[in-house]
């Protein structure tokens, strides 16, 4: 699946222009973003699209030289299941929660 990348947002639309997948990660500070939302249309569930979105977000956040916190429940679970990406998480913010 091809994603469109914007500042702090990665998404996909179907042929009719309907949003079918999205992850957003707005800036929390100059060095940290908040992965606060993931969405996958029901028609795509079970195909690994949300995981693909997270990988694309990780790449984009790394390219910006930033760290992340995860407040979206899917993103929290994804980082728990994929500890190899835990270096991207801002441990200072996580400790202060």
Which pair of tokens denotes residue 5? 């990348």
pLDDT of residue 1: 83
Q: What is the DSSP letter of 66?
A: -
Q: What is the mean pLDDT of the chain?
A: 93
- The answer to whether the CB of 72 falls within 8 A of the CB of 38 is yes
**pTM value?**
0.89
Which pair of tokens denotes residue 7? 């500042």
Question: Could you give the 3-state DSSP secondary structure of residue 84?
Answer: helix
Strand-strand pairing, 37-40 and 19-24: antiparallel
pLDDT of residue 95: 39
pLDDT digits (tens, 9 = 90+) for 14-43: 999 999 999 999 999 999 999 999 999 999
* Closest by CA position to 11, among listed 42, 53, 55: 53
pLDDT digits (tens, 9 = 90+) for 53-96: 999 999 999 999 999 999 999 999 999 999 999 999 997 554 34
């Amino acid at each position: 699946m091809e994603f469109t990348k914007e500042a702090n947002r990665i998404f996909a639309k179907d042929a009719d222009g309907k949003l079918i997948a999205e992850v957003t990660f707005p800036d929390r500070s100059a060095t940290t973003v908040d992965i606060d939302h993931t969405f996958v249309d029901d028609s795509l569930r079970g195909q690994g699209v949300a995981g693909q979105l997270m990988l694309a977000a990780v790449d984009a956040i790394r390219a910006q030289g930033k760290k992340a916190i995860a407040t979206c429940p899917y993103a929290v679970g994804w980082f728990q299941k994929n500890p190899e990406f835990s270096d991207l998480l801002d441990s200072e913010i996580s400790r202060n929660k």
